[in-house]
Amino acid sequence: MRFGTALKWSTATATVKIFTKFPEAVDVIGHEMTHGVTQNASALIYQGEPGALNEHLSDVFGSLIKQRLKGQDAASASWLIGESVIIAPDPLQAGQVCRGVRDLLHPGTAYVNLAFGSDPQPDCYANLNKDPADNFGVHINSGIPNRAFAMYAIAIGGNAWDIAGKVWYQAATASGLPAKATFSQFRATTLATAQAMASTTVPALIAAWNAVGVM
């Protein structure tokens, strides 16, 4: 599932509404606005790993906007994107999960066994989705760096936008990140940025990237 899909799911017997209005969710608004920043500051191509990084940056800053608005620190944040726009089945059946559109901290768990399927995001590089659909998984594979960012922010503690968010913004916009950047290249860029901005957090960042298998 991705932002911009149809708001209804058709079956053989009925048409079921699955989303409310996306603009009602501040994290979704922040996600879409961040695409404009990425397009102008990073120019990441919208395919494969650089495309997944493009989506990842929008997820991160959409989440940070919501966290700041709600006064949530990294430990108390839900790390869900679009939790207010997805409509849960009523009643929710056994084996079904409906928490949001994406879960940055636990990719692949935002929704399970709904009419349109289950959250397909992997949480580690070993499970990278290589299907040519969705521009080789730009929305699916963003879960890998999403988890790395969330783990880094939680390990640091405090507000995710204070250090982790600034490291990510600097790495994405002022580092000369190539348009075809891979996850490994982005890892290296974030490590160099963290070393310059907040060197004491580098071990936590290394651990986060290692945890998702990006070397």
In the chain the domains, ranked by start, together with CATH numbers, are 25-83+121-211 (1.10.390.10)
Higher pLDDT, 22 or 76: 76
Among 213, 204, 181, 191, which residue's Cα sits nearest to residue 53? 181
Is the CB of residue 149 less than 8 Å from the CB of residue 34? no
Mean pLDDT computed over every residue of the chain: 91
Q: Which pLDDT band holds residue 15 (cuts at 50, 70, 90)?
A: low
**CA angle, corner 43, sides to 40 and 49, nearest 5?**
145
Among 143, 152, 137, which residue's Cα sits nearest to residue 209? 152
Per-residue model confidence as pLDDT tens digits over 103-151: 999 999 999 999 889 999 999 999 999 999 899 999 999 999 999 999 9
Is the CB of residue 122 less than 8 Å from the CB of residue 109? no
User: What's the rounded Cα separation, in Å, for the pair 136 and 24?
Assistant: 29
Largest separation between any pair of C-alpha atoms in the chain:
58
Give me the pLDDT at residue 58, please. 98
H runs (alpha helix) in the chain: 26-41, 48-70, 133-137, 143-156, 164-173, 183-197, 202-211
Residues with catalytic annotation?
32, 139
**How many C-beta atoms lie closer than 10 Å to residue 155's C-beta?**
16
* 0.95 surpassed by pTM: no
Calculate the alpha carbon distances from 31 to 66, 127, 155, 164 in Å.
10, 24, 23, 17
Per-residue model confidence as pLDDT tens digits over 72-103: 999 999 999 998 888 888 899 999 999 999 99
User: What's the rounded Cα separation, in Å, for the pair 101 and 5?
Assistant: 12
